[in-house]
Structure 1
């Protein structure tokens, strides 16, 4: 179903370390999420686009560990996912540090998507890592299946009676 959605977010994190230091962050996000098409035609009938800006509003002490420091204080992220043919979609998702201009992530995405299941392959060229995912969905059946027919059967000595 086509839509355009504006969104905002607020995220706070506080981390205590054994050397008594405390890293705190409060970040705000604003963005837009859009979907065009119905994913019902054989090709090019679905496009998903996202764009977001995040900034640290409050940033306290730094972590004593270099790998754990909050270094991406202003970032922009964007992505597109496009139906190619049938259930196959391809896309890209990226984010950049606006303070340094360095890429944070760059994901290449290939999906096989059906209504009730899907397979996702992602490759992150920034971190040289990959992901394979399997999705199951729409298990929200709310009807009454009724009683099982035939009633119960007795088993005596491992033999159905």
Structure 2
């Protein structure tokens, strides 16, 4: 569980090492409405929500740091990734199974917040999948910038298994 999350964070670090600050901050319109940096910040906001839930008992993915330095500063993003990795490595099996609350808005028509029980492990699975989804979008931004990205960047684990199985098929 934790190793898979560390591997996901390693993909983000690899991406950050491969781009310039200008590429990281660029919004390639009209194809995209956000930069790769904004996607990275959004991913990290979700991990930070889990980290904060250890103390508060509630995960709130709606709390975001839009416009923060992580969106524009590669070094700040790398530092946050390192902090999140350290946090993940500190988690015990007992903590992963502990019940916590998830508070989230569920309507676009009006403010409607629902609170449900979940576990830290289940939410880590979600944020990992969420990160991969955003990596796929960053991959498309990178292609629009004519950048080379690793073949597995933004590929979901089940998709990777499907692709391996297809290669082995007679």
Shorter-chain TM-score tier: under 0.3
Q: So what's the TM-score if we normalise by structure 1?
A: 0.23
Higher helix share: 2
More strand per residue: 1
* TM-score, normalisation: structure 2: 0.22
